[in-house]
Amino acid sequence: MYFEHSEKVKELQEKLTTFMEDHIYPNEALYEEQLKKEDRFSEIPKIMEELKAKAKEEGLWNLFLPESEYGAGLTNMEYAPLCEIMGRSAIAPEVFNCAAPDTGNMEVLVRYGTEEQKKQWLEPLLRGEIRSCFSMTEPDVASSDATNVQTSITKVGDEYVINGTKWWSSGAGDPRCKISIVMGKNDPDAARHEQQSMILVPLDSEGVTIKRLLPVFGYDHAPHGHAEIEFKNVRVPASNLLWDEGKGFAIAQGRLGPGRIHHCMRTIGAAERALELMCERVQSRQAFGKPLADQGVVREWIADSRIEIEQARLLTLKAAYMMDTVGNKEAQSEIAMIKVVAPNMALKVIDRAIQAFGAAGVSGDFELAANWANIRTLRLADGPDEVHRRAIAKYELAKDYGRNAVHARQ
């Protein structure tokens, strides 16, 4: 057991922190201002491309992507603390080309894409020129059960025809978003987890219609957006299929491991910043003759927040360690655990900070309310908490508790 990051990671942490302080935090408000008033989805705030250029210049680019020639050569464990720092600001991940859902999609392309697919989609994604979305969830069924998927992917000649409606295709509102990875059924008669396939669908394909962009607790999340997309007789070349027919579920499983850990680390970063804001606020505000920090439960909130953040971070790092050492499959119980822990922890920490901020906390003057709303979706995205708890329990119940459990005092 060893609880310190390597020198390489410490240096990157410092570099990233400096970048955040010099370039990200001071430009958060500007980013918001630069969104077009009339149509917040029509154009990307200029400051974003400027920041991306700076980040690339400093080598803070594509830090994700373990075990791949395309990335920065970091393991999940090494990337985790960096991802946490990026999570401190809503605009940061994109600046470093480490934003969801692109990172997950790039991983899929790296692992399962053909050379041609890589050339056409992975490379511009890695350069930060285009963006992508992931179309899995459907409005009409409980998508927590992947076998409920209704969208069809049917081979007709040398093409696949896609029909169905997806929603929560996050990022599809962005004018730079060019490609979606779509999950659908190609063979409803195959074994339960071999009915699904994944396929690359350019968003400008005929028959693709973005019906609307869904708000999250009143936020439109422009220019990113969460799209409901109709696929109506959409035809793409058969070569757009990822891996093989019937491999959709397997790809999803592979994609979700790293995706989840990234979400968790970013979430921890957001919680950490909320705690900092709270500590600063309660020392600077007075009520009833003394700072809020000296009243009632405030210190209890701070202590509990610190405790919960520390624990969630350690568990997430352990999950990353296991992914690196025994593989995503063996780490699945740990990944499920952090998927439950991190968002729930962050929601509690941020909610306390909101309460400490008073009415300002629910407004747009601080990141708190927006972060809360965003993180609330993570208790549902990639499977609701309940499905993950089910998986953890299943794993636990299957253990052989050997000679211990049976021994009672009786």
Contact positions with a second copy (CB under 8 A) in 36-75: none
- Residue pair 160/235 in contact (Cβ under 8 Å)? The answer is yes
Among 39, 43, 67, 276, binds a second copy (CB under 8 A): 276
Place of tokens 């973005």: 210
Q: Does 20 bind a second copy (CB under 8 A)?
A: yes
- Residue pair 380/302 in contact (Cβ under 8 Å)? The answer is no
Among 167, 234, 257, 332, binds a second copy (CB under 8 A): 167
Residues with Cβ within 8 Å of residue 369, at least 6 apart in sequence: 354, 361, 362, 363
What is the nearest approach in angstroms of a second copy to the Cβ of residue 234?
22
Q: How are beta strands 208-213 and 226-237 bridged, if at all?
A: antiparallel
What is the nearest approach in angstroms of a second copy to the Cβ of residue 115?
35
Query: What token pair was written down for 2?
Result: 């060893």
Dihedral over Cα of 300, 303, 308, 309: its sign: positive
What is the nearest approach in angstroms of a second copy to the Cβ of residue 124?
29
Q: In the window 186-245, what residues touch a second copy (CB under 8 A)?
A: 214-220
Place of tokens 């900092």: 276
Query: What token pair was written down for 212?
Result: 């609307």
Stretch of residues binding a second copy (CB under 8 A), selected from 112-120, 202-210, 253-261, 294-302: 294-302
What is the nearest approach in angstroms of a second copy to the Cβ of residue 281?
8
Among 13, 34, 114, 144, binds a second copy (CB under 8 A): 144
By rule CB under 8 A, what string of x and - marks binding of each residue 343-362 to a second copy? -----------xx--xxxxx
# of chain residues touching a second copy (CB under 8 A): 114
Among 341, 346, 349, 350, binds a second copy (CB under 8 A): 341
**Spatial separation of the C-alpha atoms in residues 45 and 91, rounded to whole Å:** 11
What is the nearest approach in angstroms of a second copy to the Cβ of residue 80?
9
Among 49, 238, 297, 330, binds a second copy (CB under 8 A): 297
- Residue pair 243/62 in contact (Cβ under 8 Å)? The answer is no
**Spatial separation of the C-alpha atoms in residues 253 and 133, rounded to whole Å:** 17
- Residue pair 76/320 in contact (Cβ under 8 Å)? The answer is yes
What is the nearest approach in angstroms of a second copy to the Cβ of residue 309?
10
Q: What count of other Cβ atoms lies within 10 Å of the Cβ of residue 393?
A: 12
Among 14, 127, 244, 283, binds a second copy (CB under 8 A): 283
What is the nearest approach in angstroms of a second copy to the Cβ of residue 324?
10
